[in-house]
Amino acid sequence: MPLYRLVTYAKPDTTSEKLADVFRGVARMVYRERGQFRRINNMGIRPLAYPFRRPREKYEAARFVECTYDLAPRAIPEVERLLRAEDSVLRFVHMKDEGELAAFRRGVAKEIAPKVPTPAQRVNGEFNPATMSVDR
């Protein structure tokens, strides 16, 4: 199953308990579809790049929440339907993590960051690529 990241903006006056209920519903749906809920991160209230308007409402800040989960692609519309029905959620976006980055985040792949040369691999203070080995 692919790894997805969901970033949600909620109304700034939404309580933590209300957001917890919303994401409990998302987690239940993920588990019902045989997925795995990996992480949830409440990033707090942040200013928006531009004011967000709804009828008779204007928001200049929002509460950002990010969560990560493995889920079958056919279940994504159900998660989105659940979030659209929630009045406290202003906007949301799903992103699919692909390739080595997704495997690295799951802990399956080797480190994908570039290797830093040790002092023994430097010649006269310069980096010597001939002594550098890369495991790929």
Q: Please name the residues in contact with 60: beta carbons below 8 A apart, sequence gap of 6 or more.
A: 47, 48, 51, 52
SS3 state at 19: helix
Q: What pLDDT score does 88 carry?
A: 92
Superfamily in which the 3-97 domain is placed by CATH: Ribosomal protein S6/Translation elongation factor EF1B (3.30.70.60)
* Mean pLDDT in order along the chain per 10 residues (136 residues): 90 90 92 90 91 88 92 92 93 82 61 53 54 45
Q: In 10 A of CB 89, how many CB atoms? A: 20
Q: What pLDDT score does 1 carry?
A: 78
